[in-house]
Amino acid sequence: MLSVENFSVTFTMYDRGLVQKQLTVITDLDLEVRAGEVVAVVGSSGSGKSLLAHAVLGILPANAETSGRILFQGEPLSAARCQALRGRAIALIPQSIGYLDPLMTVGAQVCRVGQLNGLAKPAAKLVMLETFKRYNLASEVQHLYPFQLSGGMARRVLVAMAVVGQAELVIADEPTPGLHPDVVTETLNHLRELASEGKGVMLITHDIEAALQIADRVAVFYAGTTVEIAAASDFANGKLRHPYTQALWRALPQHDFIPVAGD
């Protein structure tokens, strides 16, 4: 469904004064997300995993340049196609409710996504209510403003918003940090469900444990590229090949809790 081939992102920055320098943040990246599959992208902050999501959504800043190819459903993802698809066939589940309009009720915002996907207003409202019911959101929730939502409710609203359209590919950007373990499990289960319905899910996270709970495959990011794409079962079986992946596994608090020397 989504395949990223030989992909690089370079930023043009100012060094001192007028001298420009090129910073390559993603190098020769390959990744594939198939329909019905959850692919987790795991890596430390600054390893470029969020930039990958931004590239797929076509929202990189103006001083970024890309090379390589991103194919969505077999066709190259050009800037124009990106714009036509995002929010429709490609949906983002953002990190927090900070991404919602604070002055609009969440029901109206979810409805709006439905309308953008070509539904008439009454139909969009119907779909919104159905989606809310599916995610155990009481119908009163639609009249609430984002700041009135509790942590768990906010998560469910964000998921509802992503799936109210006809999303084929769902990108979840760090959906778990700072949440109660029950809410984390619930959010992850929602993502798994979406994959079982035949959508492709890309889960971007720094949390290996969360990734392993639902992912089919785990792509480990380090310094702007994937060092290893392993099946989720490889972690527990000790079949990891790359030293960085092995180190990440060992560094978990339930294992050795020992960092790798030398960064």
Judged by CB under 8 A, the residue of 34, 69, 121, 180 near other proteins is 180
Is there binding between residue 98 and other proteins (CB under 8 A)? no
Closest distance to other proteins from the beta carbon of 60 (Å): 12
Structure token digits, residue 254: 């339930």
Closest distance to other proteins from the beta carbon of 261 (Å): 9
The closest alpha carbon to 163, from 190, 202, 126, belongs to 190
Structure token digits, residue 11: 């930023």
Q: Is the alpha carbon torsion for 96, 189, 1, 39 positive or negative?
A: positive
What gap in Å lies between CA 119 and CA 96, rounded to an integer? 26
Judged by CB under 8 A, the residue of 35, 212, 232, 252 near other proteins is 252
DSSP H/E element including 203: strand 200-205
- By CB under 8 A, which span of 75-83, 114-122, 130-138, 200-208 interacts with other proteins? 200-208
Closest distance to other proteins from the beta carbon of 216 (Å): 20
Is there binding between residue 61 and other proteins (CB under 8 A)? yes
| Pattern 65-84, other proteins, x by CB under 8 A | x-------------------
Cβ neighbours of 17 (radius 10 Å): 6
Closest distance to other proteins from the beta carbon of 198 (Å): 31
What gap in Å lies between CA 230 and CA 253, rounded to an integer? 21
Judged by CB under 8 A, the residue of 6, 83, 136, 150 near other proteins is 150
Q: Which is nearer to other proteins, 168 or 207 (by Cβ)?
A: 207
Judged by CB under 8 A, the residue of 5, 6, 14, 233 near other proteins is 14
Is there binding between residue 18 and other proteins (CB under 8 A)? yes
DSSP per-residue codes, 186-248: HHHHHHHHHHHTT-EEEEEES-HHHHHHH-SEEEEEETTEEEEEEEHHHHHHT---SHHHHHH
Judged by CB under 8 A, the residue of 28, 30, 32, 44 near other proteins is 44
Is there binding between residue 24 and other proteins (CB under 8 A)? yes
Structure token digits, residue 187: 């959010």
Judged by CB under 8 A, the residue of 74, 76, 122, 181 near other proteins is 181
Judged by CB under 8 A, the residue of 111, 172, 224, 226 near other proteins is 224
Q: Give the 3-state secondary structure of residue 176.
A: coil
Is there binding between residue 151 and other proteins (CB under 8 A)? yes
**Residue 215 amino acid letter:** A
Is there binding between residue 6 and other proteins (CB under 8 A)? no
Check: CB of residue 30 under 8 Å from CB of residue 194.
no
Residue 15 gets the label, from left (phi > 0), alpha (psi -120 to 50) or beta, of alpha
Instruction: Report the DSSP pairing between strands 38-42 and 200-205.
Output: parallel
What gap in Å lies between CA 101 and CA 146, rounded to an integer? 8
Binding site for other proteins (CB under 8 A): 10-14, 18, 20-25, 42-47, 61-63, 65, 150-151, 174, 177-181, 183-184, 206-209, 223-224, 247-249, 251-254, 257-260, 263
